[in-house]
Amino acid sequence: MLTVKRPKAKKSEAKYLTAEQVSQVLGQLKDSRHLNAIVLIAFTGMRRGEALGLEWVNIDFEKRVIKVRATLNRVNGTLVRTEPKTQNSRRDIALTEQAIEILKAQKLRQAQERLRAGSKWTPTNYVFTTETGGPVDGRNLLRSFQQACGRAEIHGMGIHGLRHFAATLLLDGKVPLLVVSRILGHSSVAITADIYGHVLEETAREAMESLGSRVAYRA
C-alpha cells in the first residue's frame, strides 16, 4: 500500500514593525483617541481584543500588573467580552513605568469625557471607551492604526505588527523563549518558536559567536 506523506505546513513567521517605525506611527497618532490603546499593545504584546476587553479591575497599579482575563469580540453584531483565546491567554503581564503612565493618562481622559458626556455616558468598566463610555470597536482601532501607518508610508501592516514588535524586542533582549511565550499568551512554546524563528536564529548565531570568542584558540 502506497503511503503518501502529508505536506508540512509552512511556518508563518511574524511581520513586525521596527522600533523606528513604531515611533513614526505613534507620532502620527498623537491626536487620536486610540493612541493609548495602541501604545499599550506595543508595550505589552497584548492582542487587540485583549486590550479592548480590559476593565479597570484588571489593572493592579500597586503590584504593577495587567490581568488578562477576557477579550472583546463582535458576536452577532454586538461587542461582548468573551473568554480568552486559550487557557494560556489568561495571564498576568508586568507593567513598565511607561505603561503605567499610559494607563493613568487614559483614566484621566476617561474621567474628563464622562463629565463632558453627562447623561449620555454609558457606565462600563472598560479601560478604553468611546466618547460616551461604550466599548471600542476593534475595527475602528485598526482603521486608526492603518491610517497612521499610511501617513508614515508603512503599508500592509495590521495591529498584530505591534504585538510582533514587542515579542521581537524581548527576544532580541535575550529574554528566554518560555518567558516570551507566556507574556504573549501562546498555547505552547512551539508556536512562539515557529512565529519568531528568524529572531531565534539570529540570537543563536550571536550566542555561538560569543561562545567562540571566549576560548583563545586558533587552528
CA 109 – CA 185 distance, rounded (Å): 29
- 92 is written with which cell numbers? 498576568
For 48, the enclosing helix (H) or strand (E) is helix 48-52
CA 137 – CA 36 distance, rounded (Å): 15
User: Rounded to the nearest 5°, which phi and psi values hold at 64?
Assistant: 60, 50
Domains of the chain: 19-210 (1.10.443.10)
From first to last of its 219 residues, what are the pLDDT tens digits of the chain?
A: 444 454 444 455 567 788 999 999 999 999 999 999 999 999 999 999 999 999 999 999 999 999 999 999 998 989 999 998 788 999 999 999 999 999 999 999 999 999 999 999 999 999 999 999 999 999 999 999 999 999 999 999 999 999 999 998 898 888 999 999 999 999 999 999 888 877 767 665 655 565 555 565 555
Fill in the amino acid letter for 81.
Answer: R
The pTM for the full model equals: 0.84
Residue-wise pLDDT for 53-98, tens only, equals: 999 999 999 999 999 999 999 989 899 999 987 889 999 999 999 9
Q: Which of these, 163, 128, 158, 137, lies nearest to 146 by C-alpha position?
A: 158
